[in-house]
Chain A
């Protein structure tokens, strides 16, 4: 049982997803309970797995006992284990949250649950796998279920999903091309094996070609500027219940995969690494500024948050571009923090929409009186986006800036500062709307004497609130765990 931990974590949501349609036929609610329990069990296991990895070191698991490099290997190092836990937490909360939204027709309901389960499976798989082709499979599972979930968000969702699908398919193809080129040179698909062969240094040109494909592929998938075209409308119009998962986690996992390719397969000795890092750095800086400027121009809160994600993904890739262990740790801290910040903000907008049915920030006047908890999270998440201590966003920015200072890349520090200030402009505008502007006199759709919202919406909000502050204040614990893996990997 215990030795099968890495695969169990992926299989539980997968089984729940596959059973979902069938169970919905028996009883409308059965598939809901099964999926919730499966994700919860998977969450518990992933926490235990993190404990195991921290105390005993990296877990290598060969699926079906087919030996590497021929079989599929799952590699859980401290980095993966931590990201897995974050994915599981957001997933679990999204599963609870999503039940308050969405379609009521029986068949579609079962299908929607299946899609959420598959999305979770894909994300977990992409994080755990140690095999480049297996990564592709999980990437496609993630993408296909995401296309459908975005399309479920109404007529505009369909258009957004179609756009995403066109671009996403290009990304998947480019990934496959990149991997194919590497496979033709090395004859292996196992990441560790591939690294050994590539480090001989005779494949530099092949690696350069495949690298350009892979950079674009991951760039599209993580919505890195200028490959982000699909992202704002997809984030804004996705099915409201699953938005936190799509916005909070879905673009982070390709970033992790990108990191794996650049640092763990190519390695820092790669001849064109410096060039690659400079390109990624420039794109990140441009993205951070572009995303914030466009976020300022939006009126719909979902669009604001979507463009802000373009900027925030820039922080993560900037960490990769700086490349010192501390900066990499900062990038992953930001990845985790941002999952809760952006996820949390979408929980908030979902909650506001649930209660009042609006997403226009001009209608948000003084809703803090009716929704103190939601507005509390909104404020903390916004402050974290700006990077005000003691929230998570401040500390990730600290590590990124420290790393840049170590490398004497002063321009990156300047961009970080500028980006924080741009964030402050639109997030304080949001705070102004929520706390200061005159009430728009919205009608409540949901009323209760005790709680401001149903329990399944309150719980994610509280968890995100605690997580943003917790990740901030106790960041050193997380950084220590991350450095266990990153120490040898960075520049």
Chain B
């Protein structure tokens, strides 16, 4: 046990604020007015943002002096404590998740009410629980703490996936559980083995496993046992198929699943395992990173082609997510400081861009009940702001300069050039063109002049609760593209994380 007065408890607060909110919403939800219930969500979101933002200076000074916050709450299993640590990599993810939770919450309120959804209490409670688990994942200092929150995230996302309680929902819920639980249990076995051979579970920049601990065939097996859980959630092919099925959930859930919490947690899991457990040296020597990089390359290209053929807007965005997440995986597996920083920054970039796209898709659905791209001819006239935001985010996903997607992609490409991986560079550039090919038609159709659907003649954009968050995220993706460091120093943090991992090697 520890002296709770003397240490900085902020990482713990970040987890507890949202967890308490989840509990309060679940218990009180049916007994108070919806406004009070949503008030709890928003209050928790604001508090969470305050806590997380206040930690940024700590993370920035991580290397200057020994200012990093480390918090051993209690012994969770014999010999290992339940510990939190604020480091630059976790901070980047935490900032994204907390910022987007507030925006998604506002959007959810507009969406759920605009759409007259059932079971809203359970929805908001599970949503808050997901964010709480994500905060835990960001600040976890060792594998077991990480894994606990990772499994909590898996379980608390399940009610969101089956939200509609219909046949299709149950089916995709089962699929989701099958993928995540199996990979999670295999990761559990991996963690046990790592702990048995290394005697520690503490995340260390540059990894703590060495080849003496895990000789070659074992290193590769354990690598994939551990990374498996990450790449399932991050939707790397061939383990991606739960992600498009989870589209049956309400759009804010898709936004959360696809842009903020779940898939990014998967990418972050891969990040921690490859760079903080195995470390660049062992990941390279056991060929795990190479194999994973090629899987990511295949995913990037294949998913773009599949996305092109989908005419349901959300399905197209889902496959775009699958491809974009593999950028992160590829960035991690190139194993250079640049590409690592790029991968980490792509968590930020993709989160803001993709959430804009999903929110726009949801806004279109609530306002006009259109799901299919072919039905959206001329929709830009009815909903100009929504579609402008959508177009901005699309261009960002394609990686145009002055959009946030460019910053991260450029860094990954620089890393690939540094390692002399020409094919990776070519893939990244080709996928940018493919992204234009599958997203720009939507924008062009939306603003088409001639054949305008008569019902779109009249102006009538989405309700403000939906419109404002998506415009904000669109603006942020442009601002961060011009000044990657604006506001939260996220780019600096990503670069710091990249450097801290590779310093011991150079």
A contact set with B: CB distance below 8 Å? 326, 329, 383, 386-390, 394-395, 397-399, 401-402, 404-406, 413-414, 416-417, 420-421, 424, 428, 432, 435-436, 473-476, 479-480, 483
Q: Which of A420, A436, A475 lies in contact with B185, CB distance below 8 A? A: A420
List the one stretch of B144-152, B230-238, B251-259, B295-303 in contact with chain A: B144-152
Q: Which of B155, B170, B186, B195 lies in contact with A383, CB distance below 8 A? A: B155
Q: Which residue of B lies closest to A366 (CB)?
A: B165
- Would you list which residues of chain B between 6 and 31 have a CB under 8 Å from chain A? none
What residues of chain A lie closer than 8 Å to B77, measured between beta carbons? 395, 398-399, 402, 475-476, 479
How distant is B228 from chain A, measured CB to nearest CB, in Å?
A: 12
The reply to whether B148 and A476 form a contact with Cβ atoms under 8 Å apart is: no
What residues of chain B lie closer than 8 Å to A476, measured between beta carbons? 74-78
In the bound complex, CA of A402 to CA of B78 (Å): 10
In the bound complex, CA of A414 to CA of B75 (Å): 26
What residues of chain A lie closer than 8 Å to B185, measured between beta carbons? 387, 417, 420-421
Give me 18 other A-B pairs in contact (C-beta within 8 A), A424-B181, A436-B170, A476-B76 excluded: A329-B78, A386-B181, A388-B154, A390-B152, A397-B188, A399-B78, A401-B189, A402-B77, A404-B192, A405-B193, A414-B189, A416-B189, A421-B182, A432-B170, A475-B77, A476-B77, A479-B77, A479-B78
What residues of chain A lie closer than 8 Å to B148, measured between beta carbons? 389-390, 394
Q: Which residue of A lies closest to B149 (CB)?
A: A389
The reply to whether A421 and B181 form a contact with Cβ atoms under 8 Å apart is: yes
In the bound complex, CA of A399 to CA of B79 (Å): 11
The reply to whether A424 and B196 form a contact with Cβ atoms under 8 Å apart is: no
B contact set with A: CB distance below 8 Å? 74-78, 144, 147-148, 151-152, 154-155, 159, 162, 165, 169-170, 173-174, 177, 181-182, 185-186, 188-189, 192-193, 195-196
- What are 30 A-B pairs with beta-carbon distances under 8 A? A329-B78, A383-B155, A386-B181, A387-B188, A388-B155, A389-B148, A394-B148, A395-B77, A398-B77, A398-B188, A398-B192, A401-B189, A402-B77, A402-B195, A404-B192, A405-B192, A405-B195, A413-B193, A416-B189, A417-B186, A417-B189, A421-B181, A421-B185, A424-B177, A428-B174, A432-B162, A435-B159, A436-B165, A473-B76, A476-B74
What residues of chain B lie closer than 8 Å to A475, measured between beta carbons? 76-77
The reply to whether B151 and A388 form a contact with Cβ atoms under 8 Å apart is: yes
In the bound complex, CA of A390 to CA of B182 (Å): 18
In the bound complex, CA of A218 to CA of B165 (Å): 46
What residues of chain B lie closer than 8 Å to A401, measured between beta carbons? 188-189, 192
In the bound complex, CA of A198 to CA of B148 (Å): 45
How distant is A103 from chain B, measured CB to nearest CB, in Å?
A: 38
In the bound complex, CA of A389 to CA of B169 (Å): 25
What residues of chain A lie closer than 8 Å to B169, measured between beta carbons? 436
What residues of chain B lie closer than 8 Å to A479, measured between beta carbons? 77-78
In the bound complex, CA of A168 to CA of B45 (Å): 59
In the bound complex, CA of A474 to CA of B75 (Å): 8
What residues of chain B lie closer than 8 Å to A421, measured between beta carbons? 181-182, 185
The reply to whether A402 and B192 form a contact with Cβ atoms under 8 Å apart is: yes
How distant is A477 from chain B, measured CB to nearest CB, in Å?
A: 9
- Binding site secondary structure of chain A: helix
What residues of chain B lie closer than 8 Å to A390, measured between beta carbons? 148, 152
In the bound complex, CA of A329 to CA of B77 (Å): 12
Q: Which residue of A lies closest to B184 (CB)?
A: A388
In the bound complex, CA of A5 to CA of B174 (Å): 52
Q: Which residue of A lies closest to B166 (CB)?
A: A436
In the bound complex, CA of A435 to CA of B159 (Å): 9
Query: Which 10 A-B pairs rank lowest in CB-CB distance, beginning with the nearest?
Result: A405-B196, A389-B148, A401-B192, A476-B75, A417-B185, A436-B165, A413-B189, A405-B192, A417-B189, A388-B151
Q: Which residue of A lies closest to B75 (CB)?
A: A476
What residues of chain B lie closer than 8 Å to A474, measured between beta carbons? 74
How distant is A318 from chain B, measured CB to nearest CB, in Å?
A: 14
What residues of chain B lie closer than 8 Å to A428, measured between beta carbons? 174, 177
How distant is A134 from chain B, measured CB to nearest CB, in Å?
A: 34
In the bound complex, CA of A421 to CA of B152 (Å): 16
In the bound complex, CA of A473 to CA of B151 (Å): 15
What residues of chain A lie closer than 8 Å to B181, measured between beta carbons? 386, 421, 424
The reply to whether A436 and B162 form a contact with Cβ atoms under 8 Å apart is: yes
How distant is A268 from chain B, measured CB to nearest CB, in Å?
A: 21
In the bound complex, CA of A383 to CA of B76 (Å): 18
Q: Which residue of A lies closest to B195 (CB)?
A: A402
What residues of chain A lie closer than 8 Å to B182, measured between beta carbons? 421
Q: Which residue of B lies closest to A404 (CB)?
A: B192
How distant is A410 from chain B, measured CB to nearest CB, in Å?
A: 8
Q: Which residue of A lies closest to B122 (CB)?
A: A435
Q: Which residue of B lies closest to A368 (CB)?
A: B122
Interface centre among B78, B152, B195 (most CB of A within 10 A): B78
What residues of chain A lie closer than 8 Å to B195, measured between beta carbons? 402, 405
How distant is A288 from chain B, measured CB to nearest CB, in Å?
A: 14
How distant is A370 from chain B, measured CB to nearest CB, in Å?
A: 12
In the bound complex, CA of A390 to CA of B189 (Å): 16
Q: Which residue of A lies closest to B119 (CB)?
A: A435
How distant is A416 from chain B, measured CB to nearest CB, in Å?
A: 8
The reply to whether A389 and B147 form a contact with Cβ atoms under 8 Å apart is: yes
How distant is B221 from chain A, measured CB to nearest CB, in Å?
A: 10
How distant is B156 from chain A, measured CB to nearest CB, in Å?
A: 10
In the bound complex, CA of A480 to CA of B155 (Å): 30
Q: Which residue of B lies closest to A417 (CB)?
A: B185
How distant is A143 from chain B, measured CB to nearest CB, in Å?
A: 36
In the bound complex, CA of A413 to CA of B191 (Å): 11
Contacts A436-B162, A476-B78: A389 and B151 contacting too (C-beta < 8 A)?
yes
How distant is B386 from chain A, measured CB to nearest CB, in Å?
A: 33
Q: Which residue of A lies closest to B164 (CB)?
A: A436
Q: Which residue of B lies closest to A386 (CB)?
A: B181
Q: Which residue of A lies closest to B196 (CB)?
A: A405
In the bound complex, CA of A414 to CA of B193 (Å): 11
In the bound complex, CA of A326 to CA of B195 (Å): 14
The reply to whether B75 and A413 form a contact with Cβ atoms under 8 Å apart is: no
Q: Which residue of B lies closest to A414 (CB)?
A: B189
What residues of chain B lie closer than 8 Å to A399, measured between beta carbons? 77-78
In the bound complex, CA of A399 to CA of B169 (Å): 36
In the bound complex, CA of A432 to CA of B158 (Å): 11
In the bound complex, CA of A152 to CA of B19 (Å): 45
What residues of chain B lie closer than 8 Å to A413, measured between beta carbons? 189, 192-193
The reply to whether A406 and B196 form a contact with Cβ atoms under 8 Å apart is: yes
Contacts A417-B185, A421-B181: A389 and B152 contacting too (C-beta < 8 A)?
yes
In the bound complex, CA of A123 to CA of B185 (Å): 35
In the bound complex, CA of A388 to CA of B155 (Å): 8
What residues of chain B lie closer than 8 Å to A432, measured between beta carbons? 162, 170, 173
How distant is B362 from chain A, measured CB to nearest CB, in Å?
A: 23
Q: Which residue of A lies closest to B225 (CB)?
A: A417
What residues of chain A lie closer than 8 Å to B162, measured between beta carbons? 432, 436
Q: Which residue of B lies closest to A326 (CB)?
A: B78
The reply to whether B78 and A417 form a contact with Cβ atoms under 8 Å apart is: no
How distant is B95 from chain A, measured CB to nearest CB, in Å?
A: 26
How distant is B70 from chain A, measured CB to nearest CB, in Å?
A: 19
How distant is A437 from chain B, measured CB to nearest CB, in Å?
A: 8
How distant is B225 from chain A, measured CB to nearest CB, in Å?
A: 10
